[in-house]
Amino acid sequence: MSMLYITFMGGPRFLLDGADVSDQISSKAAAIIALVLVRATRQMRRSDIISYLWSESSDDAAKYNLRFNLWQIKKALVQADGESLLLVSKDVIKVNPNFSFLCDISEIEQAALEDINSIAELKHLLSLFRGDFFENCSLHNCENFLEYIIQRRYYLENRKLVVYHRLIRLTYENALDDDCLQFMSACEEIDPYNEDIAKIRLEILIRRSAWRDAVQYYQMFYSRLLRDVGAEPSLELQGLSKQFRLQKTRDVEENVLHLEVCTIPSLPGGWMSQVLKALCQSNQITWSDHLAQRQLSDLAYLQPILPAQMPTCVPMVRVAEAFIDLITGLCTGKQACRLEIRSLNGAPLDALSRDVAEVLQKKCSHNLVIL
């Protein structure tokens, strides 16, 4: 059985039984198909199509152009049994109910987005938004259809936002924080002033005890809203900001240092390298207070961004000893702090880092928490 796949997002494309026949369909022929397909009745009067595509042509020229493009469609989009995509009568053009096809915009428009609770299904719908409706199409002397394209793009972008909002809500409720953050970043490019999204991002950062990141994000959102819209965040969002600002102040007073890292099981010392990177980025420690210069150089072998010259080769046992001295000094020294290290990806530690972590937890007791 023949199958036609039609896509309009990112530009018209037609795949008939796996073969790309797009080059056999002109831009205006594609426009005819789009106009008929998106209507609820899946049919349209000839005169209405002409008003969209050839309103500036004479009556005879417009009718000829329509006939020619319909012939082009009939020739290119025909099933093995001879059925054509469109049925043409004297006054009306409609979709052939016996023709098997799938169309991206039909799928997008017919989906009951608010009722979908499947993350996989929503991700599939999101994948259909490959670009703009009728992107990179050359269409001349048809202002009515160009205006129609603008209207459809606005409508479809709103549908895309609904898909994003559903994905954000569902991934947040299922504690899929990394996926949720990715969807929010993409959504904020389209909808940068949405307070519901800002609230969820802040709640995830609070859930991760990432107080510094929460403060930075809130300040950025506050500034963007005030600068571009001339408004302040809602009282609810302002109240939420007080919660993590207070916690950040407590952490400073109580000398708590939160680190978030990604573990790399296949790389010896991978977890230690990520901890060193996070310590560098925190800008909260003075290296010379805890390490001799040689030890700092040894650690630079593991993490090149450290403020020391990286040696060409260092025994890993020496690197491990320097790391143990550093963390022990942070947790038990004169200015001891409570160190909380959270894995973002939940992967197991590499063998070397696991052995080092076990030693550290014995040495540092309650001042070191590895999550």
CATH of the domain at 239: 1.25.40.10
The answer, yes or no, to whether residue 246 has pLDDT greater than 80, is no
The pLDDT score that the predictor gives to residue 252 is: 44
Average pLDDT of the segment spanning 265-277: 90
Cα–Cα distance for residue pair 155/175, rounded to 1 Å: 30
Helices (H), 174-286: 177-190, 195-207, 211-228, 235-254, 270-282
Q: Are residues 69 and 100 in the same domain?
A: yes
Picking from 225, 253, 281, the residue at the C-terminal end of a domain is: 253
Q: Are residues 263 and 366 in the same domain?
A: yes
Band the pLDDT of 254: cuts 50, 70, 90: low
How far apart CA 337 and CA 14 sit, in angstroms, is 63
Pairwise CA distance, residues 28 & 141, whole Å: 11
Residues 161 and 59 in one domain: no
- Angle between the N-to-C axes of helices 177-190 and 143-173, in degrees from 0 to 180, rounded to the nearest 10: 150
Buried b (16+ CB within 10 A) or exposed e, 16-53: beeeeebeebbbbbbbbbbbbbbeeeeebebeebbebb
For the record, the structure tokens of 141 come out as 């002397």
Residue 253 binned pLDDT confidence (cut-offs 50, 70, 90): very low
Q: Which helix (H) or strand (E) holds 101?
A: strand 101-103
Residue 126 belongs to some domain of the structure: no
pLDDT of residue 362: 86
- Check residue 46 and give its pLDDT: 94
Q: Which domain holds residue 49?
A: 4-106
Instruction: Select the more confidently predicted residue: 59 or 258.
Output: 59
Residue 57 sits at φ, ψ, to 5 deg, of -90, 160
- pLDDT score for 244: 66
The pTM of the full predicted model, rounded to 2 decimals, is 0.66
Confidence of residue 247 (pLDDT cuts 50, 70, 90): low
Number of domains in the chain: 3
Confidence of residue 263 (pLDDT cuts 50, 70, 90): confident
In a domain, 337, yes or no: yes
Indicate the residue among 253, 270, 291 that finishes a domain.
253
242 and 309 assigned to the same domain: no
User: CA gyration radius for the chain?
Assistant: 30
- CA dihedral for 286, 292, 293, 299, sign (positive or negative): negative
The pLDDT of 87-114, averaged and rounded, is 93
Residue range 324-339, pLDDT digits in tens = 999 998 888 777 778 8
* Paired tokens of 173: 């409720």
Among 253, 268, 287, the domain-final residue is: 253
Q: What strands lie across the sheet with 4-7, from one edge to the other? A: 19-20, 13-16, 4-7, 101-103
Q: How far is CA 327 from CA 58, 276, 278, in A?
A: 83, 10, 13
User: 100 with 49, same domain?
Assistant: yes
Residue 232 lies in a domain: yes
Inside any domain, residue 120: no
Asked whether the beta carbons of 343 and 263 are under 8 A apart, the reply is yes
338-343 and 256-261: which strand pairing? Answer: parallel
Lookup: tokens for 2: 């023949």
Q: What is the pLDDT of residues 161-201, one digit of tens each?
A: 999 999 999 999 999 999 999 999 999 999 999 999 999 99
Q: How far apart are the C-alpha atoms of 170 and 176, rounded to whole Å?
A: 8
Please indicate, yes or no, if residue 345 is contained in any of the structural domains.
Answer: yes
For the segment 194-238, what is each residue's pLDDT rounded down to a tens digit?
999 999 999 998 888 777 788 778 888 888 888 888 888 888 888
Within this chain, do residues 62 and 163 fall inside the same structural domain, yes or no?
no
- Torsion sign (Cα): 38, 43, 48, 50: positive
pLDDT in tens, 12-69: 999 999 999 999 999 999 999 999 998 888 999 999 999 999 988 999 999 999 999 9
CATH of the domain at 34: 1.10.10.10
